Structure 1
């Protein structure tokens, strides 16, 4: 019964649509009607600006962290906290408070890793930043980070690097979440292939995407 309660709390916490509410109540804009129509961090940055984007990222990340550390805060050790964090990611992706149409799970997934494996998160963050600089695309950097996450959760424990031992629940959840992130970026993948993806004003844009005039 305890695990069900924590799963429910994590899901509801993850379901808080930070970007959507910030846009509607402070900017008078529904993110679902602008840009990519996504309510996550990237579209918030694009439509509402840096301040709103940073707040949304912090809030979405915090949802994952709080959900993950919640069992430990209450001294509950019967199950792995990564399992509870996964339900926050599920809530963020399919939020009950926003018609089950949420973000792409990147920020909340980062929050879960911050609460469970912070050093591993730093590694993936470095991968993300390098990919972002080379491509100038948040979407591609997210996809590459997800792919690296899948590969390294299978390899790193064998060398006791960052992930000291195999935790098969952690491995399964990371692979599942990373796969979800990639699937949620399928429209971005199509735009990247056609060199029409949205860019950030930083980096090398090595794939020569055509800059969106509306950015």
Structure 2
């Protein structure tokens, strides 16, 4: 048991470091852009897409999704049990949002949360993806789609998964919504940028 517990702790810490890899910042830096100084200043896929285009934005989104999924998958591969798998996914999201490589700043955790949710309960990830895509298609607001997707995932977890997992995903969803508090204010004020709009300092 002590060995298993130590392995679990080490795996959670490794998951945090995996999540902390600042793909957005590094991709942007390779293109001569400090992503923290353009647009929203957020180190995430949406800001990269607005600043650098669809290709870099998609690459960052895929990498960030994989961070959450791989963290959960690693704990599963080590047969540490679902609670530890969930803890590793949460750690990856926290690493992404509060990366030590970026002065404990980072992104808003949308893609990494999606990877985590999908790895833990695929039907929750599917529900989140459908609501996200539908909302962005109808409104072109990525922030609104992200929030609605997160709420959907939490609801699906309570319906299709165990109670404890529903509580975990609800916590992740609450963190995601909190990270979007400025976006919510801009949505209310009618000043939120839509998907596809270039940001100041963007490179073509």
State the TM-score, normalizing by the size of structure 2: 0.89
Aligned to 2:125: 121
Tell me, which stretches of 5 or more residues in structure 2 are unaligned?
1-5
Aligned to 2:3: none
Q: Distance in 2 between matches of 1:78 and 1:181?
A: 22
In the TM superposition, residue 78 of structure 1 has moved relative to its aligned partner by 7.8
Contact 1:137 1:197 in 2 (8 A): yes
State the TM-score, normalizing by the size of structure 1: 0.85
Hey, which bits of structure 1, 4+ residues long, moved more than 4 A? 211-215
Aligned to 1:187: 182
Aligned to 2:26: 21
Tell me, which stretches of 5 or more residues in structure 1 are unaligned?
157-162, 202-210
**Deviations for 1:138-195, whole angstroms, at most 9, x for unmatched residues?**
01111111222333333x1xxxxxx2x4241x12211111011111111111111111
Q: Distance in 1 between matches of 2:154 and 2:89?
A: 17
In the TM superposition, residue 77 of structure 1 has moved relative to its aligned partner by 3.3
Contact 1:196 1:212 in 2 (8 A): no
- Greater RCO between the two (CA within 8 Å, min separation 6)? 2
Q: Counterparts in 2 of 1:201-212, with a 5 A limit?
A: 201=196
Q: Figure out how many residues of one structure are paired with residues of the other and give that number.
A: 196
Flag the structure with higher helix content. 2
